[in-house]
Every structure is written in structure tokens, then in C-alpha cells.
Amino acid sequence: MTDFSAKRRPQHGAGQDSIDQSLLERIAAGERPALHELYVNYYQRLLRFLYRITGQLELAQEGINDVMLVVWEKGHTFTGRSTVSTWIMGIAYRKGLKLREKSKRWSDRFKAADIDDWNEPFLPSEKPTDEVIMQDLLARALRQLSPEQRAVVELTYFHGYSYQEISAIAGCPVNTVKTRMFHARAKLRTLLPKLGADGPYK
């Protein structure tokens, strides 16, 4: 029988988790070099995830340090009920939503546009390819989703987490994860009508 499913991303393997766990044990013992190693290992992942939630690079960068400060201070409380990656992404999820909310309050107070409207306009220097256009459409479509829906989409499609892991990251029931994905897919289908119409991005 044909296997339609994709391969999981390697960053979630058991080997990776045991490396993360050993780093976390050293961090709990106060070893700054272990924190540096974990920081470097997670930097791009967190930057992308937090950027997707907050919509701002500055907030995403601030969020990474907020997350890593929690890892440094609370590393000893990690019980191993989930993978280290799920635990860290859970912290990032909460920090990202808080930062976004704080930023939105400020923009509301000063009657500025919503942060999602502050993304750079699409300004191609040459005739854009189909792929570039599709990526632009995707970026715009994702901005139409709620931050919680965007997080589920990003954690599923880019980071390769299972719905049970996303439920642990977002701190909500599995059915809520599925519902968020259901609504996100419905919106994306409307906003990306060419998807699946006649092969890739046609």
C-alpha cells in the first residue's frame, strides 16, 4: 500500500531529546556553556516560531531571551513528561502570545495599525516566479489566521509536531488543536484557491 505520509523532521528524534535532556541537566546545575549550546541549537527554530506568532522580528528576538531565561531558571523543574523540545516550544508559545498582546495594546492605544499590517510590502525587484508569488500569498494568508491558528499550522507543517505534542505545547485539549487546524485549513483553502488545483502551486 502506498505510504502517503511524510517523513518526520529529524529534530524530534529520541537521540535529539537525549542530547537536549543532558544539556538541560547541566543547565539545571548552573553550567552557562550548556545554556549557550541549547540556545544556539534552538535559536532559529524559536526565532521562526516567535516571528510567526508575533509578526515582528524585534519581539521574536526579545521572546527568545525570555524563553531561555525561563529554561535557565526553571530547568530543574523539568519532569520529563514531554520531550525537552515540546517543553521549550510550550514556553515560547505562551511568551509569544503575551508579547503579541502587549504589543497590540500599545498599537491600539496610539491608534496605530495592527502589527500584522506592518509587514513589509511585497516589492519584487524582478519578475517574480510562481513560487515567489505563492510564498507571498501564503504569508498574507497566514496573517489572516489568529495567532493560535498560525501556531498550530506552523507547529504541524514546519516543525513537524503531532497533535498530541501541539496540545501539550499550547496547553489545550487535543480537540481544540484539531478544531483550530480545521478552521485554519478552511481559511487557507479560500485564500489559496490554486492549492491542489492542478499540481504544485498551479
Partner 1 sequence: MNHETANGVLPWYANGTLADDERQHVEDHVHACLTCHLELKKEHELHELVRASPTVNLAPEEGFDRLSRRLDDDARGGRSAVEQLAGAVERLWGPLSTLSSATRFSMAALVLLAFAGVLSWRTIPPPVVQGDPDYFTLSSEFKSAGSELDIVFADHVSERELRALVTEIDGSIISGPTALGRYRIRLTDDAVDEAHLSDLIRTLSHDERVRFAGPSFAGEETAE
How near is the Cβ of 123 to partner 1 at its closest, in Å?
Answer: 8
Q: Which residue has the cell 527568545?
A: 64
The 63-92 site mask, x for binding partner 1 (CB under 8 A), equals -xx--xx--x--------------------
- Using rule CB under 8 A, residue 29 touches partner 1: no
- Using rule CB under 8 A, residue 129 touches partner 1: no
Cβ neighbours of residue 34 closer than 8 Å, sequence gap 6 or more: 23, 24, 26, 27
- The residue among 18 and 130 lying less far from partner 1, judged by its C-beta, is 130
Tell me the three cell numbers of residue 94. Answer: 505562551
DSSP state of 156: I
Span near partner 1 by CB under 8 A; candidates 21-29, 61-69, 75-83, 84-92: 61-69
Cα separations in angstroms, 164 against 3, 12, 53 = 22, 14, 20
Span near partner 1 by CB under 8 A; candidates 13-21, 78-86, 90-98, 102-110: 102-110
Q: Which SS3 state, helix, strand or coil, does residue 201 take? A: coil
# residues contacting partner 1 (CB under 8 A): 66
How near is the Cβ of 111 to partner 1 at its closest, in Å?
Answer: 9
Q: Which of 7, 77, 81, 127 binds partner 1 (CB under 8 A)?
A: 7
Q: Which residue has the cell 544539556?
A: 23
- The residue among 28 and 195 lying less far from partner 1, judged by its C-beta, is 195
- Using rule CB under 8 A, residue 118 touches partner 1: yes
Q: Which of 23, 24, 168, 181 binds partner 1 (CB under 8 A)?
A: 181
Question: Among 38, 63, 40, which Cα is nearest to 50's?
Answer: 63
Span near partner 1 by CB under 8 A; candidates 17-25, 78-86, 90-98, 190-198: 190-198
Looking at residue 58, its amino acid is: E
Determine contact, residues 152/165, Cβ cutoff 8 Å.
no
CA distance 122 to 181: 27
